[in-house]
Amino acid sequence: MTNISKDIHVRVAGPEDYEGIMDLARLLNKENSVFPMNEEKVSQHVIPSLFRDGGIMGVIGKPDKIEGLVLLRIHSQWYSDGEFLEEMCVYVHPDHRASKGGRARKLVEFAKKCSEELHLPLMIGVLSNSRTDAKIKLYERQFGTPAGTFFLYGVKTGELANASEIVN
């Protein structure tokens, strides 16, 4: 029996993937975001990454049918000029989550590989109220012990809110 996982390949996204990526970003926003999507703002992160300008994107699938993606951007902390690779999102289309192949794992492995090849530390995490434990276990298997945690107060992921609705 062959290992189906080997058939799943993460490739570097290019400009031809833009529409498929934006379709998946809209789905991601509906499912897991806290605030409504600003498509122009999303494009400002996606487009440079498609040209490897300050970031990179890995995708699974064909340009018109993206099954999963990881968006990585080069950033620095507010207190330093030291650069790191920041994971903006890892997302697998709901139709492919139960499929064999370990798409989420493959996307996380792509992020690790980019970190190693660019010689930049990778900051990656889970910000979700859905299947959080399973996601954390996947990340712990790949990266070891977490370096912190996130908390949301007054809102949950997947429940879009306006900033004025958030409890301060």
Dump pLDDT digits (tens) for 133-143.
767 777 777 77
pLDDT at 70 > cutoff 70? yes
- C-beta contacts of 126-133 below 8 A and 24+ residues apart: 126/150, 127/152, 127/157, 128/32, 128/157, 129/156, 129/157, 129/158, 130/31, 130/32, 130/157, 130/158
pLDDT at 30 > cutoff 70? yes
Query: HEC states along the chain?
Result: CCCHHHHCCCEECCHHHHHHHHHHHHHHHHHHCCCCCCHHHHHHHHHHHHCCCCEEEEEEEECCEEEEEEEEEEEECCCCCCEEEEEEEEEECHHHCCCCCCHHHHHHHHHHHHHHHHCCCEECCCCCCCCHHHHHHHHHHHHCCCCCCCCCCCCCCCCCCCHHHCCC
- Return the pLDDT at 125: 77
Domain holding 48, by residue range, is 4-165
- Return the pLDDT at 109: 94
CATH number at residue 69: 3.40.630.30
**Mean of the pLDDT values across residues 147-159?**
73
CA dist., res. 133 & res. 4, Å (int): 25
Give the pLDDT band of residue 166 (cuts 50, 70, 90).
Answer: very low
60/130: higher pLDDT = 60
pLDDT at 164 > cutoff 50? no
- Return the pLDDT at 139: 73
CA dist., res. 145 & res. 76, Å (int): 22
Which residue's entry shows tokens 């498609």?
A: 50
pLDDT at 79 > cutoff 60? yes
Which residue's entry shows tokens 């977490």?
A: 146
Give the number of domains in the chain: 1
To the nearest whole number, what is the mean pLDDT of the chain? 85
pLDDT at 153 > cutoff 80? no
